[in-house]
């Protein structure tokens, strides 16, 4: 029996958060992603109401003015927000919800829904994070440095979260997250050099 129906997942870019969340949703039928509203255009294959609720900037601003979002932010020129009504509708359907958001969104949701359980997913090391961010070698050293600085900034807020999970092994991290969601105990102890992770880039 789940002790809580709302789960917040946050992490630095390149940590594997979204892959873990997708695997959880596939394996746990009562678990679902929160579907955000956005002003950006749909990408090929994206469906309204499935991947996002696509709205105009005017519609989004009207929702903000009416206090209809639990949290909202502007990212790369586009607005994103978590609808209060959509969240309540999913709960009425018996769904346990994952919010896949950054630390600012996590803080906003915790303020409005303190019963939500927040989880921050950490990389196993700075080298592992940089390797993930480097990807296929398409980014310049300057861009990689910018992404690392953004990652360090995100990780610096890890103490605001209820649980920490280290994605050093995908299946082990997945098991940790299931443990948290099912309320069966605590995840593995965190064995990460936080000082190294948080060092300035």
pLDDT tens per residue, range 5-39: 899 999 998 899 989 999 999 999 999 999 999 99
User: What is residue 4's predicted lDDT score, i.e. its pLDDT?
Assistant: 58
135 vs 66: which has the higher pLDDT: 66
| Predicted confidence band of residue 93 (pLDDT cuts 50, 70, 90) | confident
All structural domains of the chain? 1-30+96-201 (3.40.50.300), 35-94 (3.30.63.10)
- Tokens for 83? 């609808």
Report helix angle 170-182 to 17-27, nearest 10: 60
pTM: 0.88
User: What is residue 183's predicted lDDT score, i.e. its pLDDT?
Assistant: 87
User: What is residue 144's predicted lDDT score, i.e. its pLDDT?
Assistant: 86
Query: Rounded CA gap, 91 and 113, in Å?
Result: 13
3-state secondary structure of 96: strand
User: What is residue 185's predicted lDDT score, i.e. its pLDDT?
Assistant: 82
pLDDT tens per residue, range 115-159: 999 999 999 999 999 888 887 676 788 888 888 998 999 999 999
Q: Average model confidence (pLDDT) for the chain?
A: 91
């Amino acid at each position: 029996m789940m002790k809580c129906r709302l789960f917040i997942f946050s992490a630095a870019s390149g940590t594997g958060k979204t892959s873990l969340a997708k695997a959880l949703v596939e394996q746990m039928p009562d678990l679902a992603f929160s579907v955000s509203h956005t002003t950006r255009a749909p990408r090929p294959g994206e469906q309204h109401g499935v991947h996002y609720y696509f709205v105009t900037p005017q519609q989004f601003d009207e929702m903000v003015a009416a206090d209809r979002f639990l949290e909202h932010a502007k990212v790369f020129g586009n607005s994103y927000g978590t609808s209060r009504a959509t969240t309540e509708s999913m709960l009425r359907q018996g769904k346990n919800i994952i919010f896949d958001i950054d630390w600012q969104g996590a803080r906003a949701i915790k303020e409005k829904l303190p019963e939500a359980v927040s989880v921050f997913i950490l990389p196993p090391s700075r080298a592992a994070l940089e390797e993930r961010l480097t990807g296929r070698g398409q980014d310049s050293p300057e861009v990689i440095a910018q992404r690392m600085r953004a990652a360090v900034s995100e990780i610096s807020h890890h103490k605001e979260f209820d649980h920490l999970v280290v994605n050093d092994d995908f299946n082990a991290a997945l098991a940790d997250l299931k443990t948290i969601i099912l309320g069966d105990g605590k995840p593995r102890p965190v064995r990460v050099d936080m000082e190294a992770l948080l060092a300035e880039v």
